[in-house]
Structure 1
């Protein structure tokens, strides 16, 4: 059994949960932003999530390189490990975002998501979607990539099927019973999943995708629009320490959930804070734009790029007037200009 009764509800834990639930309610009540702006936020957050998740595991591709790769996924084969991991995580996270209502937490779906995560890696073909059958302890790594020693023992291969069944059953029963706040329940599920380490490879990225899935199940509809993975990447040392401190105690009589749960809630609060700042900044900036400029920016958001011809068709405006709007948007950083002469086109600024 998972000893969740040792969870301590401290003032900080209460404060973090209250902050997250307040934002959850405000996001639902306000309906978020206009569809075009939501789409732009999600596009940026998706790139950040994919890039950060793969870099946490040792990948080296920048967000810009990830974005370039994602624009040309269709029908492409990948020979580099970094590219394979990016393509796999992109497939999984998009499935979570688009189909979360049809993905209840079951072992079948967990295995399917693991299969998709490693879909582009031939090296991992032999174990995609299957629990591991060999011992696989988690070790700390030095800067030079050499292992610094074992951090904690993961579950024995023989025990994995029963432990995963126990974990999934426990989560679904506790979610129905509502004895524990959903955020605490999700946090415990994630840290136990990582301690079991059910798959040969891909446990870390899969745990982050599953975190997003469970948060969406719990009604935290804003999570696709701000990257939790980016927050974790930027506090990776604290992430690893919190995991180690809790995982070393999970199978004891009194598990110490606090290190991990406090980190997890703080990370979610930072995710919310970043999204809140982005939304407020966007509202402030867009509220000051003239109507023609606003139409140009929204078209660029929806289409990824905009040309003078697009703007004329969209607004019916005069070419010289529109030139002034484009020039002003570039100066303000709202748009970036590419090309020259008749080939000029614009994309959203950073």
Structure 2
């Protein structure tokens, strides 16, 4: 019988790496308030870019794509979704915005989780959205020969409603006690949620949305300004490995939370470091336009399009940005990748 007992986390031996990650994240959260109060205009720029990157990355993990141009138009609500992919992307955008704007009012309950899932598929004629899975599901992989095999057996459809209730009860109880760091409880909750795999579709997207929701509710707001979904998408192989290693023996209560916990904490810390860097770059308007663009590209975790740079350097005109990008490419200080609407820029250093 599957049981949840987060009280055991209070006495479990955390390794040195986990302790160091927790310490570093706590230090960054201490600085967070200074950034939030000092330059709201800078934060608004970072949030605009993060919203685009999060919507893009979380759907890419699930193999859901559209063009960069359409993505930006959808996220900015300047067009209506056409394809099934675009309807899923738009649903994610809506739920993400809802969490950004109303996280303090969304309680961790079965009803609210179901409502978020319903909103996720609100642009599709999907009768099962907003409902727990009606039949058992499995998580499969393909081996080197292309043969599919079962990687993980989640909870049965029959068990799912009760397990979700017990999971929420355990998380809420330990959070109210306050004996366990929320940064430990949150990844454990997400691992168990993914292991239950409560929906027919959308479990991955829901897990990432719930991660943000739980972090925000505990005053870890970095995901509003730096896309945590993007960082996960860039390390997707490691993400799946950590999830696999932690979920072994889950049904038998033999799971090991540490691999997934360490991975998620590493992602959060990386996001905070990127937040600090981007804030300082965006705030610094005393350097030349070329150096400013170079600094933005050099410190980015991912290739940046011209549209990204326009968001991060709004004091520069689009023509100035275009000229400086051309100059920087010619001087081989940055590299241009892709073509047409997919053009982006990366540092050569």
Give the TM-score of the pair, scaled to structure 1.
0.79
Deviations 1:287-315 (A, max 9, x none): 3479xxxxxxxxx99x97x99xxx9xxxx
Distance 1:191 1:326 in 2: 44
Count, aligned residues:
306
What are the within-5 Å matches in structure 2 for residues 1-350 of structure 1?
A: 1-4=3-6, 5=8, 7-72=12-77, 76=80, 78-122=81-125, 125-141=126-142, 148-284=148-284, 286-288=285-287, 331-332=323-324
Deviations 1:59-115 (A, max 9, x none): 2335444113323456x3x44222111101000000000011110111111000000
Q: What is the CA distance between 1:224 and its match in structure 2? A: 0.4
Q: What is the CA distance between 1:141 and its match in structure 2? A: 4.4
The RMSD of aligned alpha carbons is: 3.1
Q: Taking structure 1 as reference, are residues 135 and 276 closer, same or farther at Cα in structure 2, changes over 3 Å only?
A: same
Q: Does structure 2 conserve the Cα–Cα contact (< 8 Å) formed by 1:3 and 1:255?
A: no
Unaligned runs of 5+ in 2: 290-306, 326-343
Q: What is the CA distance between 1:269 and its match in structure 2? A: 1.3
Q: What is the CA distance between 1:120 and its match in structure 2? A: 1.2
Larger mean CA deviation between 247-256 and 92-101 belongs to 247-256
Distance 1:159 1:8 in 2: 31
Q: Taking structure 1 as reference, are residues 200 and 329 closer, same or farther at Cα in structure 2, changes over 3 Å only?
A: closer
Q: Does structure 2 conserve the Cα–Cα contact (< 8 Å) formed by 1:73 and 1:87?
A: no
Distance 1:73 1:200 in 2: 30
Greater Rg over alpha carbons, structure: 1
Q: Does structure 2 conserve the Cα–Cα contact (< 8 Å) formed by 1:89 and 1:117?
A: yes
Q: What is the CA distance between 1:148 and its match in structure 2? A: 2.5
Q: What is the CA distance between 1:179 and its match in structure 2? A: 2.1
Deviations 1:183-216 (A, max 9, x none): 1100000000000011110010011001000000
Unaligned runs of 5+ in 1: 291-299, 312-323, 334-348
Distance 2:50 2:111 in 1: 28
